[in-house]
């Protein structure tokens, strides 16, 4: 049997390049995956800018939060130290104002405000460094009971501004500190005014509120062997640092008449009041249902003359 060349020839073997191996398949698959991932992760320029801006904003927020936290801690530390020093200085100043002996009782010469009972002292400052060093320049003094001259048990409220010199809460004497401005009120209860009037004149009169800038005085007078209650309503005024009472109406035996029909003179009557320390004066007067209120003002006053401290 004869075979043709085609039929009897041996088939040629395929080369290694033409046979796909397992390694080749894996490389191709890896390339395709990397290509797809790279294509998905690619952003256009605008999106990249937005992402970078977001990262910068986050960094700025973190930095600002840290700075704010540090600032708050420093503020709390300074505030705590300042509060402690301020309270300590206030307490020392208040203690210095209170006398252990009797307050002087004089109306002829200024003696300063005197305290035998607790005094409230508060410093006010808008500068945190002043609080830290306890060098406040403004102080508020409040006392429910104070004495100056013949005025006893007066309610005192004073604001001292522009204090210079030694710290009022230090161990230095009060005359080493000066206030450039002093304002406030001295309030006298009508019952205390009655006691003052009775002790000074022994008239037995009592004083009460009768209206706006008006007070009433109630007294007992003798007439033809009889004791008659007499009530006089007077206008109260402050002129040039002096207190005056001007009679307006008189009520006796249930009848009210003009003061001019009863008294031979209705001229203003001067009333003794306490002298103020040097540099401080009475500026005005108001009446309330509970108090006769003197408004005070002064400049460049030594605390040594303002207060009759120990």
Q: Is residue 37 part of a domain?
A: no
* C-alpha–C-alpha distance, residues 183 and 195, integer Å: 27
Which H or E run contains 144? strand 138-148
Q: Count Cβ atoms within 10 A of the Cβ of residue 123 and give its class: 0-12 exposed, 13-18 middle, 19 or more buried.
A: buried
190 neighbors 292 (Cβ within 8 angstroms): yes
Q: What is the largest CA-CA distance in the chain?
A: 187
Per-residue pLDDT tens digits for 91-129: 888 888 887 677 776 555 567 899 888 899 888 754 554
CA atoms within 13 A on the CB side of 70: 6
* C-alpha–C-alpha distance, residues 249 and 216, integer Å: 10
List the one residue out of 166, 182, 176 whose CA is nearest residue 276. 182
Q: Which domain holds residue 222?
A: 191-276
Q: What is the DSSP letter of 309?
A: -
Q: Is residue 176 part of a domain?
A: no
Per-residue pLDDT tens digits for 289-305: 999 999 999 999 999 99
| Cβ neighbours of residue 206 closer than 8 Å, sequence gap 6 or more | 194, 217, 218, 219
| Cβ neighbours of residue 60 closer than 8 Å, sequence gap 6 or more | none
174 neighbors 303 (Cβ within 8 angstroms): yes
Q: Is residue 288 part of a domain?
A: no
Which H or E run contains 145? strand 138-148
Q: Is residue 129 part of a domain?
A: no
Q: Is residue 12 part of a domain?
A: no
List the one residue out of 174, 143, 173 whose CA is nearest residue 158. 143
List the one residue out of 192, 118, 136, 187 whose CA is nearest residue 158. 187
| Cβ neighbours of residue 100 closer than 8 Å, sequence gap 6 or more | 310
Q: What is the DSSP letter of 20?
A: -
Q: Is residue 123 part of a domain?
A: no
Provide the number of structural domains found in the chain.
Answer: 1
Question: Could you tell me the pTM of the whole model?
Answer: 0.67
Give me the helices (H) in 98-222, please: 128-133, 190-201
Q: Copy the structure tokens of residue 276.
A: 């103020």
Q: Is residue 206 part of a domain?
A: yes
* C-alpha–C-alpha distance, residues 184 and 146, integer Å: 14
Q: Is residue 256 part of a domain?
A: yes
Which stretches of the chain drop beneath a pLDDT of 50?
1-11, 13-17, 22, 25, 29, 31, 36-40, 74-85, 126, 129-135, 202
């Amino acid at each position: 049997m004869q075979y043709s060349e085609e039929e009897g020839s041996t088939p040629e073997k395929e080369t290694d390049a033409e046979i796909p191996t397992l390694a080749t398949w894996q490389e191709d698959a890896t390339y395709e995956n990397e290509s797809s991932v790279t294509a998905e992760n690619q952003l256009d320029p605008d999106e990249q800018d937005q992402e970078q801006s977001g990262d910068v904003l986050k960094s700025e927020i973190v930095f600002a939060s840290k700075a704010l936290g540090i600032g708050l801690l420093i503020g709390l530390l300074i505030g705590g130290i300042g509060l402690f020093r301020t309270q300590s200085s206030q307490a020392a100043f208040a203690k210095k104002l209170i006398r252990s002996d009797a307050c002087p009782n004089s109306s002829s010469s200024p003696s300063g405000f005197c305290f035998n009972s607790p005094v409230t002292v508060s410093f006010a400052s808008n500068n945190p460094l002043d609080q830290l060093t306890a060098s406040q320049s403004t102080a508020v003094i409040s006392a429910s009971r104070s004495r100056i001259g013949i005025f006893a048990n007066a309610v005192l409220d004073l604001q001292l501004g522009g204090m210079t010199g030694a710290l009022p809460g230090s161990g230095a004497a009060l005359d080493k500190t000066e206030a450039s401005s002093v304002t406030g009120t001295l309030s006298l209860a009508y019952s205390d005014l009655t006691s003052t009037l009775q002790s000074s004149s022994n008239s037995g009169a009592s004083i009460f509120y009768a209206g706006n800038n008006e007070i009433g005085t109630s007294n007992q007078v003798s007439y033809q062997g009889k004791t008659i209650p007499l009530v006089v309503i007077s206008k109260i005024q402050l002129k040039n640092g002096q207190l005056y009472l001007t009679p307006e109406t008189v009520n006796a035996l249930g009848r009210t008449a003009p003061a001019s029909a009863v008294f031979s003179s209705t001229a203003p009557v001067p009333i003794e009041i306490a002298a103020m320390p040097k540099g401080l004066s009475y500026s005005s007067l108001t009446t309330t249902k509970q108090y006769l209120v003197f408004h005070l003002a002064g400049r460049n006053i030594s605390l040594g003359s303002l207060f009759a401290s120990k």
